Structure 1
Amino acid sequence: MVTRLWTLAPWLAALWWGSLSTLGALVVPLLFAHLPSPALAGGMAARLFSAQTWLSTGCGLLLMLLHRPGQAEPGKGRAQAALVFMLLGVLLALLSEFAVAPRIVSRENLKLWHGVGSAMFALQWLCAGVTFWKVTRKLH
């Protein structure tokens, strides 16, 4: 059973990192390039970032469950150090959703909070990338 669950970990990590990459590098820039107004693009981007928060949280929590002490596949040495990056990534996603996004939506010091949100998104992307790398590097 543990072996079957372990096959899920690389897929979860890929979904997490890939969805962040697609949203940040492709989807949101396309919204601002093709929607009629920045306000319309910003509103849609906010909804997509919110959906991304829940996807990130779900992937991160499931990955943490799979990497609990005693759950790791015996003999495979699957990067328990990745737990730190999983936890940090989930925390960054939740902080962005509940601490930063409301300030951006209310246009409170927009330049500052947009910069903070962008930095947190980039850090979450790095955490998801490190998680993906650690989870998949021992597969070969």
Structure 2
Amino acid sequence: MQSVIHQLKAFCKLFSPKFRQSRAERSQKSLWIAAVFALISSLAIAQVPTQATVSASEVLGTWKVDLRPTPDAAPYFQEFVVTKINPNNTFEGTFYGAPITQGRINTTWGAVRIAFVTADQSGPYNHSAVLKGGHMEGLTNSTGREFLAYWSAVKQ
């Protein structure tokens, strides 16, 4: 511990305006600055939060989806059912009773993120959602009916 205190005092002395520096001392000062910078950088890197490990299987099952059109509207519930997760990061199931096509899953950002397509007589509906903490929040873009809707879901 005494050695560390001695080194810190020597380091502080390097920055004193009264301290006349030789070439060797300036070199020592540069080394100290580099060492302090490296230490601070390593501490900053160590503080970067790691992404939580998530599993695509968390989305499997039946979800109760609230499709209300506005926050103050009465709840309007439909089912989202995920029946199968495939090894190639795709999934199968139904949303609002319509079969899912192009179901995709991404788990690399600390949450389960999904995207999929359904369709009816008006055209395709492009859906995406994020599952975090047992709660899903999603968006639906209807290209045929020209609307973007927010929805939320909880697992049944």
Same fold (TM over 0.5): no
Higher Cα Rg: structure 1 or 2? 2
Query: Taking CA–CA contacts closer than 8 Å with sequence separation of 6 or more, which of the two structures ends up with the larger relative contact order?
Result: 1
TM-score (norm. length: structure 1): 0.21
Greater helix proportion: 1
